[in-house]
Amino acid sequence: MASVRAAVIVIGDEVLSGRTHDKNLPYIAETLSAIGIGLGEARIIPDDPAVIVRTVREMSAGFDYVFTTGGIGPTHDDITADCVAEAFGVPIGENAEARRRLEVHYADTGLELNAARLRMARIPEGAELIDNPVSAAPGFRIGNVHVMAGVPRIMQAMLSGILPTLKGGAPLLSISVRSPLQEGKAAESLGKLAQAMPDLSFGSYPAWTSTAFQLTIVVRGSDPTRLEAGAAAVESLIRDLGEVPERLGDS
């Protein structure tokens, strides 16, 4: 799989309760994958300081990059910045540049920059700000950890600002081949194929529509020539089992 590996930490009771359906994880996964960074793990954790601190430390040590979403707003349950500071063992205080950005934004919108909103200028010492073109309150990067908002359009704007600073690997390419083959019928030969071509990965994804069964086999790899060879082998495997393969869009 990808040689550069990232982890995502989704912070928020509202996702764990099922109230909010997280949309950030698939977006981050797809965006990073396009520049050759593979997601190695994602964790969805509660607004609990001990869990946030421990998770940030573990993921920061285990992955090339870490991205967090959520918990950087103005309310009492927005504790991500303080927890990340604690995870890195650095003090946290009001960041002058972050405060300036909030002042400009709130002057523009005519809203009061009260004490609660000023909490959003609290940034761990030594962190670099991440721009927020939507609502000013910045995210930040400290070490390999990127702290972003949870609101999807703000998170997406922040991530697009971060992207040029990330060092990706060879992008992971994929070809999908679909057929009405039963997964259990394909499993043995697909397992052998996966062993014979260990530089590629072969994922097998069954699905049922109301009228038909479909199996999509996704071949992934970094080398286009090998990828094509893998996809051709899958197509041949499907034909050998008496079905007609249909190649879907490459990516």
> Which residue, 27 or 90, is less far from a copy of itself as judged by CB?
27
Binds a copy of itself by CB under 8 A, chosen from 90, 92, 194, 197: 194
Q: CA-to-CA distance for 166 and 157, rounded, in angstroms?
A: 15
Residues sharing a CB contact under 8 Å with residue 128, sequence separation 6 or more, in sequence order: 140, 141, 142
Q: Is position 70 an interface residue for a copy of itself (rule: CB under 8 A)?
A: no
Radius of gyration of the chain from its Cα atoms, rounded to whole angstroms: 22
Which CB atom, from 40 or from 90, has the smaller least distance to a copy of itself?
Answer: 40
Give the tokens for residue 176: 């999908």
Does residue number 144 form part of the binding site for a copy of itself (CB under 8 A)?
no
The nearer residue to a copy of itself, 108 or 188, going by C-beta atoms, is 188
Nearest to 124 by CA among 141, 112, 108, 109: 141
DSSP letters spanning 117-150:
HHGGGEEETTPEEE--TTTS--EEEETTEEEE-S
State both tokens at 5: 């590996």
Taking CB under 8 A as the rule, does residue 243 contact a copy of itself? no
Report d(CA 226, CA 238) in Å as an integer.
Answer: 19
Pick the closer one to a copy of itself by CB: 14 or 103. 14
User: Is 91 or 110 the residue whose CB approaches a copy of itself more closely?
Assistant: 110
Q: Which one, of 188, 181, 186, 194, lies nearest residue 221 by Cα?
A: 194
Instruction: Give the residue with the Cβ less far from a copy of itself, 39 or 147.
Output: 39
- Which of residues 36, 73, 138, 168 is near a copy of itself by CB under 8 A? 73
Which residue in the set 35, 57, 77, 90 belongs to the binding site for a copy of itself (CB under 8 A)?
77
Indicate the pairing of strand 139-142 with strand 145-148.
antiparallel
20 binds a copy of itself (CB under 8 A): yes
Beta partners for 66? 7, 145
Instruction: Please give the residues from 148 up to 167 whose contact with a copy of itself meets the rule CB under 8 A.
Output: 151, 153
For a copy of itself, the binding residue among 104, 187, 196, 248 (CB under 8 A) is 187
108 in contact with a copy of itself (CB under 8 A) = no
- Residues in region 209-238 near a copy of itself by CB under 8 A: 218, 220
Q: Give the residue carrying structure tokens 């007609």.
A: 244
Q: Which residues bind a copy of itself (CB under 8 A)?
A: 1, 13-14, 16-22, 25-30, 33, 38-46, 51, 73-77, 111-112, 114-117, 119-120, 151, 153, 172, 182-188, 190-191, 194-195, 201-206, 208, 218, 220
